[in-house]
Amino acid sequence: MQTESIMVNMNRKDTSASRLLAKDNLLFLSEASNILNSSLDYNATLVSVADLIVSNIADFCIIDLMERNGHIRRVAVKDADSHLNTFAQQMYNYPPNPKVKGAIYDAARSGKAILIPFAEEEWLKQVAYSEELQIIRRLGLNSHMFVPLKSRGRVIGVLTFASRSSAPFTKEDVVLAEELAVRAGIAVDNARLYKEAQDAVRARDEFLSIASHELKTPLTSILLQLQIVLGSIRKESSEIPTKRLETMLENTEQQSKKLSKLINDLLNISLITTGRLTLDKEKVNFPNLVKDILRRYEEQIKKSNYDVTTEIRNNIFGCWDKVRIEQVISNLISNAIKYGDRKPISIQVNKRNNQALFIIKDNGIGITSPFQKQIFERFARGVSPKHYRGLGVGLYISKNIIEAHGGSIKVKSVLRKGSLFSVELPLKN
Ligand code: ADP
């Protein structure tokens, strides 16, 4: 038989397609609905979909789901033959390639099922990596269907069905596979939404617990200092020497500032998540702003014994929200101090292609490559709270502020070698 790729687009309201569903198939689909609706557990739902496919329609199946960034991620692989199943799991190593035509990505893009009644060598060589081809050959798969998974009017993934049988898949099989995909799409989407909601609640609870702890620490210190001062004033006899009083009040002031920053962070998160972050723009002398902030960190830099070098070019003016840009720069500087491992830090302020540029490089603990991808997300923390305090929101707020100005913030880092954060802000707004 010739290789024949057919884009199948059957309208579900079309009675001719519905008629293709035999009574047995309707029974199977009704049972499938019951199974798929029985759990909201994400992993259990994926297992059910794969089981339903390999027990009723195909010898082998793959479930690929669409990520928010448009990439497709492999989430399940199953072979009906338990002896071959372990070997089949190697298909996880070959995620779908967006450049390959006539397979998974095409089914996702077009929203239409693709039927390959018989996979000839030539077609296989086009769609599979050479190692993947070996696996397909060893599994003896020769007929394929790529069926989009849809929910709420969008494609959320693709189901791959494959068969070892000498009788190839037909258009009737596609109809059945599409009907199953309709039910599976809704079940997987619901399970995914439920999981995301659960994860979000867990992250929020964790955040609330860390936030309360972070708020309590400076507050306890403030209360303690105030109690000592008050206690001393009330006892007429004992006086605290002025110098000691000054130190105590300075300490209280410092802790109050910490508290105010934390509350400010919490307020900013609520403004960002509710889309109410507004900018109060004015003319900003960028080099002066950075120098002012650095002056505020002088004491801390000295105390931690940091060697900070700066290269600040003058005459860079932007029209920005000064307070918010100050918050971003302060956050990057305080992170470099916090995570910089007391090794040299360099700061650069420059102008390039009508953009103001701020670069801060430390030689500290660095960030693993997987975490670099999440670093600007809300509540993302790559360090143990035992060693480093923080809420994991500074970079999230910074990114939102910079993007609200039409700019960008990026990170480059090597674990245990250091990190480089760069901010670009448009000079003309
Ligand atoms: P926080 O510092 O409060 O945790 P941030 O949003 O500022 O929150 O940073 C998020 C995470 O990014 C930190 O927990 C840390 O793992 C990592 N990080 C940020 N800046 C650096 C840096 N300069 N070096 C190494 N890791 C960093």
Instruction: Quick: pLDDT tens for 227-262.
Output: 988 888 888 766 788 898 899 999 999 999 999 999
Q: How far is the CA of 65 from the centre of ligand 1 (A)?
A: 30
Confidence grade of residue 130 (pLDDT, cut at 50, 70, 90): confident
User: What is the model's pLDDT at position 316?
Assistant: 96
Site to probe by mutation for ligand 1, drawn from 381, 384, 399, 412 as the one with most ligand atoms within 8 Å of Cβ, is 381
In the chain, the percentage of residues whose pLDDT exceeds 90 is 78
In the chain, the percentage of residues whose pLDDT exceeds 70 is 94
User: What is the model's pLDDT at position 265?
Assistant: 92
Ligand 1 atom closest to residue 391's alpha carbon, by position in its atom list: 3
Ligand 1 and 228: CB distance under 6 A: no
User: What is the model's pLDDT at position 13?
Assistant: 40
Nearest CA to ligand 1 atom 11: 381
pLDDT over threshold 70, residue 343: yes
Q: How far is the CA of 398 from the centre of ligand 1 (A)?
A: 12
User: What is the model's pLDDT at position 11?
Assistant: 45
CA pair distance 200, 334, nearest whole angstrom: 27
pLDDT over threshold 80, residue 2: no
User: What is the model's pLDDT at position 20?
Assistant: 52
Give me the chain's average pLDDT, please.
91
List b or e across 301-340, with b for residues whose CB sees 16 or more CB atoms inside 10 angstroms: beeeebebeeebeeebebbbbbebbbbbbbbbbbbbbbbb
Ligand 1 and 419: CB distance under 6 A: yes
pLDDT over threshold 50, residue 75: yes
Ligand 1 atom closest to residue 393's alpha carbon, by position in its atom list: 6
pLDDT over threshold 80, residue 18: no
Nearest CA to ligand 1 atom 16: 382
pLDDT over threshold 60, residue 16: no
pLDDT over threshold 60, residue 3: no
DSSP 66-97: E-TTS-EEEEEEEESSHHHHHHHGGGGGSPPP
Nearest CA to ligand 1 atom 25: 366
DSSP 139-194: HT--EEEEEEEEETTEEEEEEEEEE-SSS---HHHHHHHHHHHHHHHHHHHHHHHH
Confidence grade of residue 204 (pLDDT, cut at 50, 70, 90): confident
Nearest CA to ligand 1 atom 15: 382
Ligand 1 and 269: CB distance under 6 A: no
Q: Which amino acid is at 78?
A: K
Confidence grade of residue 151 (pLDDT, cut at 50, 70, 90): very high
Ligand 1 and 394: CB distance under 6 A: yes
pLDDT over threshold 60, residue 268: yes
CA pair distance 55, 318, nearest whole angstrom: 64
Site to probe by mutation for ligand 1, drawn from 395, 402, 415 as the one with most ligand atoms within 8 Å of Cβ, is 395
Q: How far is the CA of 130 from the centre of ligand 1 (A)?
A: 41
CA pair distance 325, 327, nearest whole angstrom: 5
User: What is the model's pLDDT at position 429?
Assistant: 59
Ligand 1 and 333: CB distance under 6 A: no
Ligand 1 and 391: CB distance under 6 A: yes
Ligand 1 and 328: CB distance under 6 A: no
Ligand 1 atom closest to residue 364's alpha carbon, by position in its atom list: 24
177-181: average pLDDT:
95
**77-109 pLDDT per residue, tens:** 999 999 999 999 999 999 999 999 889 999 999
pLDDT over threshold 60, residue 19: no
Confidence grade of residue 7 (pLDDT, cut at 50, 70, 90): low
User: What is the model's pLDDT at position 332?
Assistant: 98
The contacts of residue 130 (CB under 8 Å, 6+ apart) are: none
pLDDT over threshold 90, residue 171: yes
Ligand 1 and 380: CB distance under 6 A: yes
Q: How far is the CA of 361 from the centre of ligand 1 (A)?
A: 13
Query: What crossing angle do the helices spanning 42-56 and 23-36 adopt, rounded to 10°?
Result: 160
User: What is the model's pLDDT at position 232?
Assistant: 85
Ligand 1 and 367: CB distance under 6 A: yes
Per the CB < 8 A criterion, the answer to whether 191 and 41 are in contact is yes
CA distances, 60 to each of 93, 96, 104, 114, 157 (Å): 16, 16, 15, 16, 17
Ligand 1 atom closest to residue 383's alpha carbon, by position in its atom list: 16
Q: How far is the CA of 390 from the centre of ligand 1 (A)?
A: 8
Q: How far is the CA of 181 from the centre of ligand 1 (A)?
A: 42
User: What is the model's pLDDT at position 240?
Assistant: 81
Q: How far is the CA of 207 from the centre of ligand 1 (A)?
A: 15
**396-418 pLDDT per residue, tens:** 999 999 999 999 999 999 999 99
Ligand 1 and 218: CB distance under 6 A: no
Which of 27-31, 207-211, 368-372 holds the top average pLDDT? 368-372
Q: How far is the CA of 382 from the centre of ligand 1 (A)?
A: 7
Ligand 1 and 365: CB distance under 6 A: yes
Ligand 1 atom closest to residue 397's alpha carbon, by position in its atom list: 6
